[in-house]
Amino acid sequence: MNPMTDMTGAEIAAAVKAGKLTARRVTEAALARTESLNPYLNGFTAITSERALVKADAVDADIAAGRDPGPLAGVPFAVKNLFDVKGLPTLAGSKINRDLPPAVDDAALVKRMEAAGAVLTGALNMGEYAYDFTGQNAHDGASRNPHDPDHMSGGSSGGSGTATAAGMASITLGSDTNGSIRVPSSFCGLFGLKPTYGRLTRAGTFPFVSSLDHLGPIARSTADLSLAYDAMQGPDPDDPGCAGRPAEPTMAELAKGIGGLKIAKAGGYFTRGGMPEAFEAVDRIARAVGIEATLDIPDAQAARGAAYLITMAEGASLHLDRLRTRHADYDPDVRDRLIAGAMIPGAWVTKAQKLRRAYHDAVLKLFETVDVILAPATPCRAPRIGQQTMVLDGVEMAVRPNMGIFTQPISFIGLPVVSVPVWTEGEALPIGVQLIAAPWREDIVLRLAHHLEMAGVVSAPVANVQEM
């Protein structure tokens, strides 16, 4: 137990602004915890101590001068290493990118977080080129699950899960193409927000599948999700995929409760293919909000298949030249999937994109009758590190490509989701539930997540790992 690193970002910012803590003290505590735990948990690939202390001192100077340092004053945060951080090569989890020159500028979202007063403490481990659901990395080693370090953190934003759950950073940023924010949030017991596709700028980040790539925050409280999300919103001409919508702040919405919200559980596809705990977690949330209604998301299995094929093809396209010249330098699991992706027919991919529009239109109709849909985030709790296969509904399948069976049909059409962590007495590891809303309604899922947090139904405690 470390009082300062156990604090949420909102608590830190309030204490720093009130003069009860300095940003320097908070930053030093976060850096000390990171230096102590990281050799074991392996969440960080770079710790930016010097930069962090310079920023912390600037926050303290603002306060001393009577200036408002921003809503995230002194809050330690870290970013998946596919975000550009000035002075560091943007690894994207790879060996190959270590040959790149250091980034000459920060990613847009890093700048926006720092403009709100947050303090960057480093770059985080991830699955190679984001093609991963495990948090394992052939070059940097696995990022471990702080709640049971023999188990996966989840991927591909594995280090983001590790760092947040271990109290090394209050807030981390990740990317989510098919589930890479929601899977680590589920495995590590955290709140994760995958916003609407196009909401947050991706400028200054290494891509994976541009038509599916999202960025978003992971945190230990819904207020922290909201604070970070609000700080990062807004148009950006440097990302052609950014929708250009003006910021729609959510922080003031959280306390509005769930009165008037119509909520239903996803039926059909989302009620099979997982372990019982995945569905029990959904039922727990449903009972807490007093609903029994179930609604079928039509063609979810085909939608997941379409997301799978588009990912294979777009990912292969991104890496085709490197696969010719640097194939031996890839993580073998990633390389083989990318090469296979280069070999699938273009007609399949175009069909998948046609399915995508039809599926999008059908799912949006569902939101004429409900505001939030509940679905499992992962089919099971975190597997052990190194586990290759799992058995779901009696079918043995590979862990790495299949952990996203419930997340892929949702991000495929860009819907906003908060993953909330559910704990069962007697179990060391949590599991997540997706709260899903119509496009651009992040406010609704954040409200519901906050209501569940305040009611004690979901929570994201710092893992009980001892500093060395």
Compare residues 213 and 230 and give the one whose CB is closer to another protein: 213
Cα 190 from chain centroid?
A: 9
Please name the helix (run of DSSP H) or strand (run of DSSP E) that holds residue 25, with its range, or none: helix 23-41
Compare residues 67 and 354 and give the one whose CB is closer to another protein: 354
Residue of 170, 175, 180, 221 with catalytic role: 180
Q: Which of 45, 43, 41 is nearest to 150 (CA)?
A: 41
20 labelled catalytic: no
Compare residues 20 and 365 and give the one whose CB is closer to another protein: 365
Min dist CB 178 to another protein, Å, is 13
Q: Which of 257, 232, 264, 259 is nearest to 247 (CA)?
A: 232
Residue of 94, 143, 156, 419 with catalytic role: 156
Residue of 80, 111, 194, 265 with catalytic role: 80
Distance, in Å, from the CA atom of 276 to the CA atom of 379, rounded to the nearest integer, reads: 9
Min dist CB 323 to another protein, Å, is 6
Please name the helix (run of DSSP H) or strand (run of DSSP E) that holds residue 266, with its range, or none: strand 263-266
Residue labelled with tokens 């975190």 = 382
Min dist CB 377 to another protein, Å, is 21
Min dist CB 66 to another protein, Å, is 46
Angle (CA) 108-319-242 rounded to 5° is 30
Compare residues 20 and 324 and give the one whose CB is closer to another protein: 324
170 labelled catalytic: no
Nearby residues of 351 by Cβ (< 8 Å), 6 or more positions away: 306
Compare residues 165 and 312 and give the one whose CB is closer to another protein: 312
Cα–Cα separations (whole angstroms), residue 116 to 111, 123, 432: 9, 19, 29
Compare residues 147 and 304 and give the one whose CB is closer to another protein: 304
**Token output for 200:** 């947050």
Distance, in Å, from the CA atom of 363 to the CA atom of 270, rounded to the nearest integer, reads: 14
**Token output for 138:** 């052939």
Compare residues 141 and 244 and give the one whose CB is closer to another protein: 244
Distance, in Å, from the CA atom of 174 to the CA atom of 211, rounded to the nearest integer, reads: 17
Distance, in Å, from the CA atom of 437 to the CA atom of 374, rounded to the nearest integer, reads: 9
- Give me the residues that bind another protein (CB under 8 A), please: 211, 299, 301-302, 304-306, 308-309, 312, 320, 323-324, 327-328, 332-333, 335-337, 339-344, 348, 350-358, 360, 401
Cα–Cα separations (whole angstroms), residue 123 to 23, 80, 93, 119, 141: 20, 6, 10, 12, 15
Min dist CB 98 to another protein, Å, is 21
Cα 169 from chain centroid?
A: 14
Compare residues 230 and 299 and give the one whose CB is closer to another protein: 299
36 labelled catalytic: no
Distance, in Å, from the CA atom of 426 to the CA atom of 416, rounded to the nearest integer, reads: 32
Distance, in Å, from the CA atom of 102 to the CA atom of 42, rounded to the nearest integer, reads: 22
Cα–Cα separations (whole angstroms), residue 275 to 92, 231, 233, 332, 424: 31, 37, 36, 29, 14
Angle (CA) 340-377-348 rounded to 5° is 30
Compare residues 240 and 257 and give the one whose CB is closer to another protein: 240
Distance, in Å, from the CA atom of 48 to the CA atom of 28, rounded to the nearest integer, reads: 12
Min dist CB 300 to another protein, Å, is 10
Active-site residue set:
80, 156, 180
